[in-house]
Amino acid sequence: MRVVILGDEDTVNAFRLIGFEGYVTDAKSIIPRIKELMAMDDVAAILVTSNISSAAGQEFVNLRTRVRKPLILEVPSLGGAGYSEVNYMAILRSVLGL
C-alpha cells in the first residue's frame, strides 16, 4: 500500500526525503489528481498540504468526507502560517455513514 503526498514543492520534497511518493500540485489540479489516485487500488492514504487544501475550498472538503478509501488527510505545509483544527471524528462518521 502507498501513501502519497500532494502539495507545495517544499513540503512534497521534504516528504520525498523520508520515502513518501509525492506530487507538486496547485489548487486547480488537486481535485483531478486526487480522483486519479482514488482509482488506484494500492493507494491507502493521500496527504494534502493545508495551503493547497484551503485554496481548493469546499470541493476538497466534500471529496474528503465522501470517500472511504483512500483516506484523505490534511497536513500542515512547511511554509504555512498555522494549523487549522480539523474534526477527524466527524469526518470518520461521515465516511462510515454513522
What does each of the 98 residues of the chain score in pLDDT, given as a tens digit? Answer: 889 999 999 889 988 998 899 999 988 899 999 999 999 999 999 999 988 888 888 888 888 888 878 988 888 877 665 555 656 567 667 666 66
pLDDT of residue 84: 57
* Amino acid present at 90: A
Give the total residue count for the chain. 98
pLDDT of residue 87: 64
For the chain, the structural domain boundaries read 2-96
- Three cell numbers, residue 95: 465516511
pLDDT of residue 54: 83
Give long-range contacts, CB 8 A cutoff, 24+ apart: 66-69. 66/94, 66/95, 67/38, 67/95, 68/95, 68/96, 69/38, 69/44
pLDDT of residue 89: 67
- CATH assignment of 2-96, given 3.30.70.340, 3.40.50.10580, 3.30.1370.60, 3.40.50.700? 3.40.50.10580
Helices (H), the chain: 9-17, 30-38, 50-56, 58-66, 88-96
pLDDT of residue 56: 83
Burial 37-60 (b: 16+ CB within 10 A, else e): beeeeebebbbbbbbbbeebeeeb
**What are φ and ψ of residue 73, in 5° steps?**
-120, 145
